[in-house]
Structure 1
Amino acid sequence: MDGKEGSIKSPGTSPNWPKIILFGDSITQFSFSEDGCWGSLLSNFVQRKCDVINRGFSGYNTRWCKVILPKVFREFNCKDIMMVTIFLGANDSNLSANTHQHVPVSEYKQLLIDMVENLQNYGIAREKIVLIAPPVCDEETWEKDCIANGRHFTKCNKEAGIFAKACVEAAKTCGTNCIDLYSEMMKQENIKELLNDGLHFAPAGSHLLFDLLKPFVIKATQHLKDMFPDWKDIDNENPHEALNHL
């Protein structure tokens, strides 16, 4: 079909869609789920202008994510990336009894700084990066979930707050954007309604994070136009005139 109108051409002949990359642990991995839907809310918000790419890894901590970060981002052209979220700490902030996932808070902070630096070296400006502090933990509900699923309960909400503060400090050190999700959740009247199992988002928690992210997304994407012309601007008798130049 080469040479014919409408045929599939070689890679690189189509416009590259701008991208928002969500990088993190299970709360990112589940961000297109029914309850943890903050990623799908973002995708809907920037539909037709920007792809929202989910690169979440359930159970991962910053120590592991620093290792995989170059492997994850090498598939993308940095010029196409409008914004990156790094949302980690829910696993790092497990108590030290959880030797499999716990990372000391000082190391956690430095690893976030290292990841921001790595992204900058890749060509992603610090202004495009948003660190998201770990969320509140509803200890009572999460303990019940752990028992029901045969896991040891090793979470402490006070410890989560310490890691959230370290995330904010890391962002200040890097000069990048930050959402202190922990503090924002603690301001809410009923924290239990934000979480479905004590740790992962219920719809209310997803909408809270989406609302907090929205100003950063607007700033990062406000210059973008819809990909391909509006349907009303296409001549049905000669669609190629409007569509072939892209």
Structure 2
Amino acid sequence: MSGVSGSPTRSAWKKVLLLGDSLTQFGFSKDGAYASLLADYIQRKCDVISRGFSGYNTKWCKVILPDILKEFDPKNIALATIFLGANDSNLPENVTQHVPLPDYKQDLKDMVDMMTNFGIPRERIVLISPPACDEKAWRKYCVDNDKIFTKCNATAGKYAAACEDAANECGTKSLDFYGNMMKRQNWQEALNDGLHLSAIGSDLLFNLLKPIVDQATSDVSMVYPEWKDVDINNLTGCLQP
């Protein structure tokens, strides 16, 4: 799509805001690169902004979300995702990161309220469920790295269901990443250490997000015209609104 969308200034670029834990923090890494894939897919239309915090749960992210939102103009947010639960769903013996299931659901709803009160429409917010956990691989990782193993795949599934319930109750979009992973015959391949995304997992998440992103950015034009549409005899008129 060619043409200039508004004034070619910083404010002209729409944003896709990704909020989450390590799965989001690693979103531009070699393996966990779902954010990189998104950024490439909507380049020249939207900036993909990752606000991922390794080890964080919903209780912690709820505290920092107001400060994060202050960075943005709500009318420039094309889409905002909340991708949390991998840490919340640790078993209760992990007293640092575990968040009880009812609290997790309420935290998600509270964060949606924070975003909508800020000015982001509900239909532009997506709750992404936590992924499945390969207990065997993650246990090995924990042993090798002197970490306490406190994950359970069945428990992760309960948190994924709570995430979907929260989205339904809030009127936002939802993405059942856990369920889509578990449909795969060799779903463990979507993870590189039992918990974090592999290249296969990142590609899966990206493809699940694509139709949501397409809908959210359907009214967003490319900023500045394509090179073949540039009038070389009138650069100022063509490239400045």
**In structure 2, how many angstroms separate the alpha carbons of the residues matched to 1:106 and 1:159?**
13
From the superposition, tell whether residues 13 and 30 of structure 1 become closer, same or farther in structure 2 (CA, over 3 Å).
closer
Aligned to 1:157: 153
Identity of aligned residues (%): 56
Aligned to 2:203: 207
Partner secondary structure for residue 31 of structure 1 = helix
Partner secondary structure for residue 133 of structure 2 = coil
**In structure 1, how many angstroms separate the alpha carbons of the residues matched to 2:90 and 2:165?**
19
Instruction: Pick from 167, 176, 181 the counterpart of residue 177 of structure 2.
Output: 181
Aligned to 1:102: 98
How big is the shift at 1:238?
3.2
Matched, 1:42 2:32: no
Query: Which digits, 9 at most, give the CA deviation of each residue in 1:111-170, with x for residues without a partner?
Result: 000000110000001000000001000000001111111110000001101111110110
How big is the shift at 1:236?
2.6
Contact persistence 2:12–2:223 (CA under 8 A): no
Partner secondary structure for residue 222 of structure 1 = coil
**In structure 1, how many angstroms separate the alpha carbons of the residues matched to 2:234 and 2:121?**
41
Q: TM-score, normalised by structure 2?
A: 0.95
Q: What residue identity is the alignment partner of 1:118?
A: M
**In structure 1, how many angstroms separate the alpha carbons of the residues matched to 2:209 and 2:187?**
19
How big is the shift at 1:16?
2.1
**In structure 1, how many angstroms separate the alpha carbons of the residues matched to 2:54 and 2:167?**
23
Matched, 1:93 2:89: yes
Partner secondary structure for residue 96 of structure 2 = coil
Query: Which digits, 9 at most, give the CA deviation of each residue in 1:193-220, with x for residues without a partner?
Result: 1100000000110011111111110000
Correspondences of 1:103-118 after superposition (within 5 Å): 103-118=99-114
Q: What residue identity is the alignment partner of 2:223?
A: M
**In structure 2, how many angstroms separate the alpha carbons of the residues matched to 1:14 and 1:167?**
33
How big is the shift at 1:231?
1.3
Matched, 1:81 2:86: no
Matched, 1:68 2:64: yes
Q: What residue identity is the alignment partner of 2:202?
A: S
**In structure 1, how many angstroms separate the alpha carbons of the residues matched to 2:59 and 2:229?**
50
CA RMSD across the alignment: 1.1
**In structure 1, how many angstroms separate the alpha carbons of the residues matched to 2:110 and 2:29?**
30
- Which runs of 5 or more residues in structure 1 are unaligned? 1-11
Aligned residues, how many?
234
Q: TM-score, normalised by structure 1?
A: 0.93
Query: Which digits, 9 at most, give the CA deviation of each residue in 1:158-192, with x for residues without a partner?
Result: 11011111101101110110011111111001012
Aligned to 1:234: 230
Superposition misfits of 4+ residues, deviation over 6 angstroms: none
Correspondences of 1:212-231 after superposition (within 5 Å): 212-231=208-227
**In structure 2, how many angstroms separate the alpha carbons of the residues matched to 1:16 and 1:230?**
16
**In structure 1, how many angstroms separate the alpha carbons of the residues matched to 2:10 and 2:191?**
41
How big is the shift at 1:13?
5.7
- Which runs of 5 or more residues in structure 2 are unaligned? 1-7
**In structure 2, how many angstroms separate the alpha carbons of the residues matched to 1:174 and 1:115?**
10
Q: Higher RCO, 1 or 2 (CA under 8 Å, sep at least 6)?
A: 2
Aligned to 1:18: 14
Partner secondary structure for residue 47 of structure 1 = coil
